[in-house]
Amino acid sequence: MTDGVSGALRRSLNLARPDDIYNAIVDAHRDLDDEACRAFDARLILLLVNHVGDDAVIREALAAARDPLQGGAK
């Protein structure tokens, strides 16, 4: 399940309606203060990490998210 890049993390678009998902994430944060947003994000991350269930993929995603040259945010 590699995507032409070493490792197992899928980096190509894998959502049928990415804009809808983005909007759902934004909507889920609506009316939350900074502390509640951080708590929500932490719970969401833990739920998704548990769903992925692959240590190597999760570690690769963590590294990529920290390093903008690996596909993470600046």
Digit-coded pLDDT (tens) for 30-68 = 999 999 999 999 999 999 999 999 999 999 999 999 987
What are the phi and psi torsion angles at 69 (to 5°)?
-70, -15
Under 8 Å between Cβ of 1 and 10? yes
The secondary structure element, H or E, covering residue 26 is helix 18-29
Predicted local distance difference test score (pLDDT) of residue 14: 95
Apex 53 CA angle, 49 and 56, nearest 5: 95
For 72, other C-beta atoms within 10 Å of its C-beta total 13
What mean pLDDT is predicted for residues 17-42? 98
